Structure 1
Amino acid sequence: MMDGLPLPRRYAAIAALCLGTALIIIDGGVANIALPTIARDLRIDQSSAVTVVTVYQLMLVMLLLPFAGLGERIGLKRMYQIGQMVFTVATLLCFFAKSLPFLLIVRAAQAMGAAAALSVSSALIRSTYPAKQLGSGLGINSAIVSAGAALAPSLGGFILGVAPWPWVFASAVPFAIGSLILGRALPDTPPGNTPFDVFGGVMCAAMFGLIIGGLETAVHGDSPVVSAAIVLSGILVGVYFVRREAKETDPILPIDLLERPVLRLSVIGAYTAFIASMTLIISMPFRLTSEFGFTAPEMGLLMAPWPLTNIIVAPLSGWLSSRIPAGALGGIGMAISIVALLLIADMPAHPTHFDVIWRMALCGGGFGTFLPPNARLIIGSAPRERAAAAGGLVSTTRLLGQTTGATLVAALLALGIGGGATPPLVAAGLAFIAGLCSLARLRPSIRMPQTEEAADVQPASQVR
C-alpha cells in the first residue's frame, strides 16, 4: 500500500483539506459577530438569535460519527466533496432568509455539509501524508483551526461594515469552491462492502442531541423538570445504543477503538482538555471587562495571543510527535497550561496589557503542545479501515468538550462565580486530569501494538 500521496498531488490535496478546514472554522466563528445584526433585521430578541449558533453546533455533534460511518461505506473523498457542495448551496440560501425559522433550517443544512466534510477530514489527512509525517499534517490542521478562529471575528466585523449580514456567511464560500476544485487530488479510498446502519446513525444522533440539548435547556431554560427529562431520555437512548453497538463489527460509535486503553485515555484527555480551554476562552472576556475594566477592542487584542501562539506551536508539536512519545509531549503541554492557568487565576489587581498577553500566550502554547500529538495517536493507531471512525471520534470529542465547557461557564455565571478566578482554577483541574491521562500512556502495559502502516516507517517506541 502506498505510504501517502505522491508529489505534487499531495500538495493539492493538502491545500484542499486546509481550505475545507478553514471554511468550517470561519463559518462557525463569524456567526457570533452577526448575531446582533440578525436580531435587529429579523426583529427577534437576542436570546432567540443565539439559536443561530447553537443549532449549528448541535447538528455538528449529532452528525459527525454517523457521517464518519457513512463515509467509510461510500468512500471518504466522495463524502468530503458531497459535504462541501451541501455547505455551499445552503450558504447561498442564507440570502433568502427573511425569518428565523428559515434561517435555522439553512444553518442546520450548513452544519450537515460541514459535518460530512469534517467527519472524514482526519482520515483523508492520514491517507494524504506519509505515516512518518502524519503528526506534522495534523499539526498544520490544528494551526489552520487556530488561524480560522483568530480570523473569523475580524472578517465578520469587516463584512458587516460594508455589506448585509448574509454576506458574513457567504465569506466561507470561496474556501468551499477552492476545496472542491482542488479536491480531485484527494486520495481515492475504496468504499466499504458493508451496508450503512441507518437505525444506528439515528440512535447516535438522538443520544447526543437529547443529552446536549437537555443540558443547554437546564442552563438557559425555565423548567428543570423538563430539562432533566430530556437528558434522562438521551441517557436511556445512549444505554440501548451502546449495548447495540457492542455487537456490531463496524460500529458507528467506535467502541472497538475505545476498548484499547491507550485510545480511551487519549479521548478522555482530549475531552477534559477541550473543556478546560473553552472554560477559559468563554469566561475570560467577562473577567477582562467586569473585573479589570478593559474595553471591547482591548479585549480582542488580549485574547488574540492564544490562537496566534497555536499557529506556531501546533505544527511544531505535530512534527515533534513523530520523534517524541505523545504521552510525554502531552504531559509537558498540560504542565505548561496548568502553570499558565494558575497565573491567570492569580492576575494582579490592575493588570497591564502585557500581564494578560504573556499568560494567554503561554496557556495557548501549552494546549497547542498537547492536542496535535494526542490526535495523531488516535488517528494513526487505528486500523486504516477505521480511520474515518477515529477521525470522527477526534472531532466529536472536540465539539463535545467545547459544548461542555460553554455549558459549564454558563452554570458558573448563573452561580455568580463565572467572571473571576474560579473558571481558570476549574480549567487547571481539568488540565491536570488531561495531563495524567497523557502520562499514563507511557506505561508499557498501556501502550498499544503498532498498526501495520506505522510499523513500516517508525520504531515501536514512537507509537504510544
Structure 2
Amino acid sequence: MGLFADQPGDDGAPGKERRLATIAVMTTTAMAVIDGTIANVALPSISNALNVSAADTIWVANGYLLAAAMTLITFSALATRVGFRALYASGGAVFTLASLGCALSTNLEMLTAMRVLQGIGGAAALSIGPAIYRTVFPTRLLGRILGLNALLVAASTAIGPTLGGIVLSVAGWEWLFALNIPLGIVGVTLALRAIPRTATVKGPFDLLGACLSAIAMGAAILATDAFTNNGQGAGPDLMMAALYSALTLLSALAFVWRQQRAPAPLLPLDIFTSSRFSLAAMTSLVAFVSQGIIIISLPFLFQNAYGYNVFHAALLFTAWPIGIVLAAPQAGRLADHYRPAMLSTIGLALFTLGLLLLAFVPSPQALDILWKEFLCGVGFGFFQSPNNREMLANVTRERSGSASGVLAIVRTFGQCFGAALVAIILATYTSDSASPATGVAENIHAMHLTIAVAAAAAALAACVSFARLRS
C-alpha cells in the first residue's frame, strides 16, 4: 500500500512502524466516534427510559464534549512530558472503564458523570492522534493519511447509528456503551505495542495555564446552557449567563497573558503567527458548530417530528457519513497537490447548499432526506481532510502536539457549542404540556430552525475559508 512504502529522503518513521501505529490510532478513534454517534441516536430512548426531558438528555452528549474541551489543551501539552504512547494508552484505558460505568448507570446524573469521565479519557487519547500521524508519516503523505482518517471517522459515524438502531431494537440503551469495552481493550493493547516512543521534555508544567484554559472552556459552555432552563433567556438564567460569559472572557484573557509569560507555555502562541494555520483553525471551529447542531438535531427530527422508529431513523442518518466516506479520501489526495484552502471552500459551499435544502425544502420522504444528507456529507468530507492538512502542515514537527491539540479543541468545542444551541432551541420552541398534534408541529418547527442555524454557520465557515484564498 502506498501509505506504507518508503522512498529515499522520507521523514517520519519507516513503513512497518507507520502501519502498526496507524492501526493503533485508528482503533481508538473508531471506538470514540462510534460511541458519540450511538449516544446521539439513543437520546430519545434515554429520555423515555429515565423519564427526563429531551433538553436534559442533551447533556449525555454535551457532558462528554464539555469534559473533552476543558482538558484537551492540558493533555496536548502533557504529551511532551510523558510521551505519546503513555498518554494515548492511559486515555484509552480511562475511556474504556468509563464506558463500563455508563453501561451500569441507573439515572441521568450517574450517566452524565460517566460521560464526563469518558470525555477526559477521550481527550487524553484523541488530543494527540493527528500529532502521531504528523510524527510517523512523511510530509508527502500527510494529506492522504488525514483523508484516510476522515474516512474512518465517517465510516464509524455510519456504523454507529445503524448499530445503535439494531441494538436498541433488541436490548436496552445500556448495551450501547458496553460495546466500547472490547474495542477499548484492543485499542489500549495496540497502543502499548505499536505507537513509537517519543522524546520527552523536562521542566515546570504550566498548572496555572491548565486551570485557566479549563475554566474558560467550561464557563463558555455553561453560559450557553444557562439559557436552556428558560428558553426566553429571562430572569435568573440571564444573570447566570452574563456571569459565565464574564468569567469566560476574564479567564481567556488571563490564559493568553499567562502563555505569553510562562517559561514553558501550555499552548505556544507562536503557532498562530501563521495566518494559514489560524484561518484554518477558525474555519474548522465554525464548521464543527454546524456539524454539532446537525448530529444532535437529526435524530429528533426523524423520530419525534417525522415519526420514524429508532432503526429507520438510524438508517436515514447513514447517508451523511457515506458521502464523507466517498469524498474525504479523494480530497486528501488532492490536498497533496492543490491548494487545500480552495478544496475546503468548495466543500463548505456544497455543505451549506445541502443544509439549506434540508431546512427550507423539507420533506419527510426517505429519498428526499437521503440525497440531501448525502450532499451534506460530500461537502463536509471535501472540506475536512484538506483543512486538517492545512493546519498540521503549517507547524514544525516539534509543534505538532500543540497543533493537534488545537485541532481537537476547535472540533470538540464547536460540536459542544452546536449541541448547546440545539438545547436552547428545543427549550424555546417545544412544550411538554402541548397536545400530541401541537407537539409534533412544534418539533418540526424547532428542528427545521436548528438546521437553518446550522446552514448559517456553514456559510460563515465558507466565508472564512474563502478569505484564505484572498490572503
Could you state the TM-score of these two structures normalised by the residue count of structure 1?
0.86
Q: Give the equivalent residue in structure 2 for 1:266.
A: 280
1:24 aligns with 2:32: yes
1:211 aligns with 2:220: yes
Distance in 2, matches of 1:27 and 1:46, equals 19
Distance 1:32 1:439, change over 3 A: closer
- Asked whether the 8 Å contact 1:72–1:192 carries over to 2, the reply is yes
Q: Give the equivalent residue in structure 1 for 2:100.
A: 92
- Asked whether the 8 Å contact 1:245–1:251 carries over to 2, the reply is yes
- Asked whether the 8 Å contact 2:147–2:385 carries over to 1, the reply is yes
- Asked whether the 8 Å contact 2:320–2:376 carries over to 1, the reply is yes
**TM-fit CA distance, 1:293:** 6.2
**TM-fit CA distance, 1:368:** 0.8
Match for residue 200 of structure 1 among 191, 204, 209: 209
Distance 1:45 1:328, change over 3 A: closer
Kindly tell me the number of residue pairs found equivalent between the two proteins.
Answer: 443
1:52 aligns with 2:66: no
Q: Give the equivalent residue in structure 2 for 1:428.
A: 455
Distance 1:359 1:165, change over 3 A: closer
Could you state the TM-score of these two structures normalised by the residue count of structure 2?
0.85
1:181 aligns with 2:193: no
Distance 1:127 1:94, change over 3 A: same
1:108 aligns with 2:128: no
Q: Give deviations 1:65-109, integer Å, cap 9, x for gaps.
A: 111011122111211111112222333344654555544443332
**TM-fit CA distance, 1:396:** 0.9
> Partner letter of residue 456 of structure 2?
G
1:279 aligns with 2:284: no
> Partner letter of residue 465 of structure 2?
S
**TM-fit CA distance, 1:380:** 1.9
Can you give the 5+ residue segments of structure 2 that lack an aligned partner in the other structure?
Answer: 1-8, 231-235, 430-441
- Is the deviation greater in 410-419 or in 234-243? 410-419
Distance 1:165 1:352, change over 3 A: closer
- Asked whether the 8 Å contact 1:128–1:186 carries over to 2, the reply is no
After superposition, residues 99-178 of structure 1 pair within 5 angstroms as 100-162=108-170, 165-178=173-186
Q: Give the equivalent residue in structure 2 for 1:442.
A: 469
Distance 1:105 1:410, change over 3 A: closer
- Is the deviation greater in 140-149 or in 156-165? 156-165
SS of residue matched to 2:446: coil
**TM-fit CA distance, 1:171:** 0.7
SS of residue matched to 1:193: coil
Distance 1:170 1:285, change over 3 A: closer
**TM-fit CA distance, 1:12:** 1.5
Q: Give deviations 1:14-63, integer Å, cap 9, x for gaps.
A: 11111110111122232345556666776766665554333222101101
Match for residue 224 of structure 1 among 222, 238, 262: 238
Q: Give deviations 1:428-455, integer Å, cap 9, x for gaps.
A: 3333332232233234xx4xxxxxxxxx
- Is the deviation greater in 38-47 or in 352-361? 38-47
Q: Give the equivalent residue in structure 2 for 1:301.
A: 315
SS of residue matched to 1:219: coil
SS of residue matched to 1:173: helix
Q: Give the equivalent residue in structure 1 for 2:434.
A: none
Q: Give the equivalent residue in structure 1 for 2:437.
A: none
After superposition, residues 264-413 of structure 1 pair within 5 angstroms as 264-285=278-299, 297-347=311-361, 352-413=365-426
Distance in 2, matches of 1:162 and 1:295, equals 13
Percent identity of equivalent pairs: 35
Can you give the 5+ residue segments of structure 1 that lack an aligned partner in the other structure?
Answer: 447-464
